[in-house]
Structure 1
Amino acid sequence: PPADREGYWGPPTSTLEWCEENYAVSSYIAEFWNTVSNLIFILPPIYGAIQTYKDGLEKRYLAAYLCLTAVGLGSWCFHMTLKYEMQLLDELPMIYSCCVFVYCLYECFKYKNTVNYPLLFFLITYSFVVSIVYLNLKEPVFHQVMYGTLVSIIVLRSVYIVLWVYPWLRGLGYTSLTVFLMGFFLWNVDNIFCDKLRALREKMPPVMGAVTQFHAWWHILTGLGSYLHILLSLYTRTLFLKHRPKVK
């Protein structure tokens, strides 16, 4: 496999490095494709946040969109620099955003102007404990398990809603889940077969080789899946409040 190059940000200090060759495209961006693919986390959620604000929807959905944008910005900084501090800026917002998603999803069937303080306290405590433990442990597997736990809770609640409450939302719900799982599958392929993928890229033109950057595809697919999930949650909420939602 080709050796990683040296670049503007110096040697990596992160506890994780991905399969993309370092500084192969630009001397200013450590992992070019893994960086620019984060635009899917940044631009659509900004649009969603603007629409949510204009439509006067509940602030928790504005927070959901902005949290997704924060994940994209943090991930951009991480993959651009491969510095440990930027890694935290990527990984910790993943936990915080999922906590916001959980709150939104479990509060879909409550009347307006109510706050579920026990759930809010639990999610804040969860975020705080995970952050403290991870900062001291510095073990990526711990973060992945804590993140996976939140995703599982979101999936189970979403499946319940589309199966038993609003079955006509199955298309949106299953599309969101399928797209996210496709991203997770490619994330694993990228990790398991990295050496073979790097060797394959040596034999391919750069543009075609970019297609094999499966961690970048993980960003694109999970970003899209997460955006669709917020739409599902928002759609469910507006249906409960007997509004006439329009997916834009």
Structure 2
Amino acid sequence: MAPWERQGFWGPPTSTLDWCEENYVVSSYIAEFWNTVSNLIMILPPIYGAIQALKDGLEICYLLSFLGLAVVGIGSWCFHMTLQYEMQLLDELPMIYCCCVFVYCLCECFKQEKSISCLPIVILLAFSVIVTVVYLQWKEPVFHQVMYGIMVGALVFRSVFIVSWVYPWLRPLCYTSLGLFLLGFILWNIDNLLCDTLRATRERLPPIVGAVTQFHAWWHILTGVGSYLHILYSIQIRRTYLKHRPKVQFICRFWPLIDTESQKSS
């Protein structure tokens, strides 16, 4: 039996997608091991970010951004661990919801402190409901991917507009975030298009070396870091508009976080 046809603890896949990683090779309890554990980058740092956002009293949309990213990571973990359809929904639908929160934060970054705009909330909520209902009835992964692409496109357009015309000094953070996401997207496509070649290559390599060719796992890592940086970018825009002096600090000289304790500028 080919490695990607092995059966494990969760039984035959019921999801509409089964990625390029061979199933149940590393563990009989985890269908796609590397695609699963790579989601830690989307779970642990955002949880820490959410705790910090709560301590710093940031507006709730930024707290929801961190929590949304963590939920996406948890859903993706469950999906790749089990390859069950219910867990696939737990992965894919939160991607739409989280992107809606990201879009709201960027669209409403130039407003009075603690004010809430109902119109964008209604529009984004309606979009989420429509996508959910249609996707539950029409189980076509391409539909989800197109809807997700629309939201990402809106984020890119708004982000580039802000660093081009409002806060050009934020370009490094903005373009690093977008660049990581783009690189992850390229690797995701390579994983889809050259799957047979990648599987054949992994058969000839030692397991640890072969793990480097798990490009869908790299998609998780790169988009996880890119999304985290996007939240920091969004917070920095907002705090700057409110006449604070936010700056990026590093935990253990490695992991970035926005220092929101800076005093307001005069």
5+ long unaligned stretches in structure 1? none
**How many residues matched?**
248
Cα distance in 2 for residues equivalent to 1:150 and 1:131: 14
**How far off its partner does 1:115 sit?**
1.2
Partner residue in 2 for 1:32: 33
Cα distance in 2 for residues equivalent to 1:54 and 1:97: 21
Partner residue in 2 for 1:231: 232
Report the residue type matching 1:109 in the other structure.
Answer: F
Partner residue in 2 for 1:190: 191
CA contact (8 A) 1:4 1:24 kept: no
Cα root mean square deviation, aligned: 0.8
> SS state of the match for residue 135, structure 1?
helix
Matching of residues 85-234 of structure 1 within 5 Å: 85-234=86-235
CA contact (8 A) 2:102 2:155 kept: yes
Cα distance in 2 for residues equivalent to 1:202 and 1:15: 26
Partner residue in 2 for 1:12: 13
Cα distance in 2 for residues equivalent to 1:64 and 1:171: 21
Partner residue in 1 for 2:252: none
Once the two structures are superposed, residues 186-235 of structure 1 have per-residue CA deviations (whole angstroms, 9 ceiling, x without a partner) of: 00000000000000000000000000000000000000000000000000
CA contact (8 A) 1:2 1:198 kept: no
Normalising by structure 2, we get a TM-score of 0.92
5+ long unaligned stretches in structure 2? 249-256, 258-266
Report the residue type matching 2:23 in the other structure.
Answer: N
1:79 aligns with 2:80: yes
CA contact (8 A) 2:4 2:24 kept: no
Identity %: 70
Greater relative contact order (Cα 8 A, min sep 6): structure 1 or 2?
A: 1
Cα distance in 2 for residues equivalent to 1:32 and 1:43: 18
Cα distance in 2 for residues equivalent to 1:3 and 1:228: 34
Once the two structures are superposed, residues 120-152 of structure 1 have per-residue CA deviations (whole angstroms, 9 ceiling, x without a partner) of: 000000000000000000000000000000000
Cα distance in 2 for residues equivalent to 1:66 and 1:98: 12
**How far off its partner does 1:2 sit?**
4.0
Report the residue type matching 2:50 in the other structure.
Answer: A
Report the residue type matching 2:67 in the other structure.
Answer: L
Cα distance in 2 for residues equivalent to 1:25 and 1:4: 13
Cα distance in 2 for residues equivalent to 1:29 and 1:82: 9
CA contact (8 A) 2:46 2:70 kept: yes
Report the residue type matching 1:48 in the other structure.
Answer: G
Question: After the TM superposition, which of the residue ranges 43-52 and 76-85 deviates more from structure 2?
Answer: 43-52
Normalising by structure 1, we get a TM-score of 0.99
**How far off its partner does 1:47 sit?**
1.0
**How far off its partner does 1:3 sit?**
4.1
Question: After the TM superposition, which of the residue ranges 46-55 and 212-221 deviates more from structure 2?
Answer: 46-55
Question: After the TM superposition, which of the residue ranges 41-50 and 82-91 deviates more from structure 2?
Answer: 41-50
